[in-house]
Amino acid sequence: MLLDKMTPELTAEIVEKALIEKGQRLPHHSLHRWWSRRFAILYRAILASYLTDSKELVRKSLDNPKAVEILARGKVFYEPFMGGGTGLIEAAIMGYHSIGIDINPVAVRIAKSTSNLLKGKVDAKEIESKGKTILRKTEEKLIETGWSWNVEGKIVSYIFVTRGKIPSWIDKYSRNGKPIRILRCPYCGTIFESARSSGKETCPHCGRSFEVTHKPKFRLGEGYPTQDGYTVWAVEVREQDGKKWRKRVLDAREILNWLQESHFKAMEKANKARKILDPVPLEDLMEGKRLKREGIKRFSQLFTTRQLATFVAFAEACRELELDEELIEVFSVFLSESAKSSSLVAKWHSPIGEPVPAVAMKTYWVPEYTVETNPLARVPEKLVPLARNALASSIRRAVRIASSELRISRNVAVEAKIDDARTFVPDKPIDIAIVDPPYMDTVRSYASLSIVHYGAMRVFDEIVGMSNDVVLDNVERNEIPRDRTGFGKAMKLVFSNIERVLTPSGRVVLFYNRKSVLDWENILQASVESGLHPSVSYWVIGEPPGRLARSRLRGVFVVVLTREKPAKSRIVFTEPLHRASEAIFLDKKVEKSAMKALSNAISRIYNNELEVVVL
């Protein structure tokens, strides 16, 4: 099999392919955000190279995973930390019987829903028609309670709120290809537009000059309403102008009656959500402790009254339509995905005119000012969103996935389930397993990161009557320990469980990278003691490159583990690193230190009796 003997040149080609993918997440992996998703190309390369010795066939499979489907028939893939399901889905598309588990219920729901979309269990036209119907019914349910997200014929997209100071740069949009900034004079409060790009601006009303900044530097005057613990100071609305929906920002005092009335009339439905969410012990979660210090003491405080009421109305509309099991799960994922922007822990960023989704930096920071996003913001009767990550956006994305030419064959089995990798043993012989464990210090808890998603999903499940007895703090307590000793012990259990059911020609592939020899030694010792030896390691690009919440290590090692102890252990490093460095910024010294740590760890584990060759 080529997996054991890929050349530096082929490895570099795979890296280059992954870099093409970096800025455009493949549509079938975009149903719902999940952290630290690997490139689909990496999975394709590994899974195809396990099946064949042909470089050309592996190259072909990078673009068309169906190219090796005949070879994958009867083979079984397993992923014990599947997360959002990138590996599970890629293996299933390729034709493997695919088994994936995760301890996080949100991750499992995402993977199952994506699988059902690609297998044709949920029809694209049905999603589109029922999606539009449900959005309309959701809007009607809010109107029945005496309010809606429309004010004076305009659609509310975002409501600007603050816990303290505000910026002078509120928003932006483009007019005839030119950027227009929407500013607020910190002296008189006038909101106006400017095509200038300077750091200073003069108010057209009072004539005073002020700094243009998106940072919260200025205090509000009086007369602004307080709701949900925040002061409301401006509102972005969309109004129709021919075929376009123009953006405007209003001073909150201009629509004070709507703000007060909608907040009051949304309370009844919002309280239904609070009754569901607030018994969940937020303070028992790692990120919950941080939120509590920031003044968010109850789960429901992550959302506004209007947002909670909308979540409830959406779930009620789904319940009344009596959707089948697969479709109801997909619609729960729509609501969960929308929560990353429709929450008070999303951060507004004026230079892009959109909120940065909650936990984009892999932790919960409660911003001083943010926006209340309207989950229903869309062009009427269409799946065209007028706010980031609105429900219409999620539904439209699912329609595209279900319409994709890249499908999972109906005769291919896909199993996605909630379980613990330390105790779960697959009930079938495994041909190839990919192990991508949570790193010890990068993310302390994925359960904590998924708080907003879990909250929206929990409200949905309770309203529609779906079973959801998973308690998030229990999930967090049962995650893989992040301390070195606990992590090593846990990984030994994971590897041992896989080794028990690995076929004679089976392979276990580890995704891992650390700069510490001790960290590498810890996990490799766990694999060796389980009877799995590092035969070859390939340096490839890890997560999509970026500045937010990224480790300085851009690469990840794909370590191929075999039952048979190799005569030597190869590390393919130099050429793929060189190719990557020509395309993106990375620190070669940092990457090299990690490679040396891997090499030294292998030597130490085998008491220098196993030759390590770096290519």
454's tokens: 């879990």
Q: What is the pLDDT of residues 454-483, one digit of tens each?
A: 999 999 999 999 877 677 878 888 888 888
Task: In whole angstroms, give the CA distance from residue 276 to residue 100.
Answer: 29
Tell me: pLDDT of 485 over 50: yes
Instruction: State residue 45's pLDDT score.
Output: 97
Exposure of 408 by Cβ count < 10 A (0-12 exposed, 13-18 middle, 19+ buried)? buried
Average pLDDT on 345-353 reads 95
335's tokens: 């609501």
Q: What is the pLDDT of residues 113-130, one digit of tens each?
A: 999 999 998 899 999 999
Report helix, strand and coil shares of the chain as percent, to nearest 5.
40, 20, 35
Cα separations in angstroms, 232 against 165, 319, 345, 369, 398: 11, 33, 16, 10, 34
Task: In whole angstroms, give the CA distance from residue 607 to residue 601.
Answer: 10
The answer to whether 42 and 558 have CB atoms below 8 angstroms apart is yes
Q: Which amino acid is at 234?
A: A
Q: What is the pLDDT of residues 42-58, one digit of tens each?
A: 999 999 999 999 999 99
In the block, tokens 């029809």 appear at: 123
The answer to whether 341 and 387 have CB atoms below 8 angstroms apart is yes
Q: What is the pLDDT of residues 95-113, one digit of tens each?
A: 999 999 999 999 999 999 9
81's tokens: 């930390």
Average pLDDT on 408-427 reads 96
Tell me: pLDDT of 546 over 50: no
The answer to whether 449 and 443 have CB atoms below 8 angstroms apart is yes
Tell me: pLDDT of 355 over 90: yes
Instruction: State residue 361's pLDDT score.
Output: 59
Task: In whole angstroms, give the CA distance from residue 52 to residue 410.
Answer: 24
Tell me: pLDDT of 363 over 80: no
Nearest Cα to 160, choosing from 93, 250, 277? 250
Distance of alpha carbon 463 from the chain centroid: 25
Q: What is the pLDDT of residues 506-538, one digit of tens each?
A: 999 999 999 999 999 999 999 999 999 999 999
Q: What is the pLDDT of residues 369-392, one digit of tens each?
A: 999 999 999 999 999 999 999 999
Task: In whole angstroms, give the CA distance from residue 163 to residue 365.
Answer: 13
Instruction: State residue 335's pLDDT score.
Output: 97
Task: In whole angstroms, give the CA distance from residue 15 to residue 39.
Answer: 10
Q: Residue 313 — φ and ψ, nearest 5°?
A: -60, -40
Strand partners, 100: 79, 416
The answer to whether 401 and 27 have CB atoms below 8 angstroms apart is yes
Instruction: State residue 266's pLDDT score.
Output: 98
Tell me: pLDDT of 210 over 70: yes
Average pLDDT on 181-208 reads 96
Instruction: State residue 292's pLDDT score.
Output: 86
Nearest Cα to 413, choosing from 102, 122, 88? 88
Residues 6+ apart with CB under 8 A from 20: none
Instruction: State residue 608's pLDDT score.
Output: 87
Instruction: State residue 474's pLDDT score.
Output: 83
Task: In whole angstroms, give the CA distance from residue 615 to residue 612.
Answer: 10
- Best-predicted range by mean pLDDT (274-283, 537-546, 591-600): 591-600
378's tokens: 């869309």
Instruction: Please report the domains of the chain, with CATH numbers, ordered by start residue.
Output: 2-119+407-444+488-614 (3.40.50.150), 124-167+214-402 (no CATH)
> What integer best gives the mean pLDDT of the chain?
93
Instruction: State residue 23's pLDDT score.
Output: 58
Q: What is the pLDDT of residues 298-314, one digit of tens each?
A: 999 999 999 999 999 99
Residue 548: band (very low, low, confident or very high) from pLDDT cuts 50, 70, 90: very low
Task: In whole angstroms, give the CA distance from residue 342 to residue 323.
Answer: 24
Task: In whole angstroms, give the CA distance from residue 195 to residue 128.
Answer: 38
59's tokens: 């190259």
The answer to whether 472 and 280 have CB atoms below 8 angstroms apart is yes
Instruction: State residue 549's pLDDT score.
Output: 43
Tell me: pLDDT of 289 over 50: yes
Tell me: pLDDT of 547 over 60: no
Task: In whole angstroms, give the CA distance from residue 498 to residue 503.
Answer: 10
Instruction: State residue 25's pLDDT score.
Output: 63
Q: H-helix or E-strand containing 477?
A: helix 472-477
Exposure of 59 by Cβ count < 10 A (0-12 exposed, 13-18 middle, 19+ buried)? middle
The answer to whether 104 and 456 have CB atoms below 8 angstroms apart is no
Task: In whole angstroms, give the CA distance from residue 506 to residue 264.
Answer: 61
Task: In whole angstroms, give the CA distance from residue 324 to residue 561.
Answer: 42
Q: Are strands 611-614 and 568-572 parallel, antiparallel or unpaired?
A: parallel
Q: Residue 540 — φ and ψ, nearest 5°?
A: -135, 170
Residue 330: band (very low, low, confident or very high) from pLDDT cuts 50, 70, 90: very high
Q: Residue 130 — φ and ψ, nearest 5°?
A: -75, -30
Tell me: pLDDT of 550 over 60: no
Instruction: State residue 342's pLDDT score.
Output: 96
Residues 6+ apart with CB under 8 A from 312: 269, 270, 272, 273, 459, 463
Tell me: pLDDT of 172 over 60: yes
Task: In whole angstroms, give the CA distance from residue 249 to residue 247.
Answer: 7
The conformation of residue 385, written as its DSSP 8-state character, comes to B
The answer to whether 340 and 33 have CB atoms below 8 angstroms apart is yes
327-336 burial: b if 16+ Cβ within 10 Å, else e: bbbbbbbbbb
Average pLDDT on 223-237 reads 97
24's tokens: 């455009």
Share of the chain above pLDDT 70, in %: 96
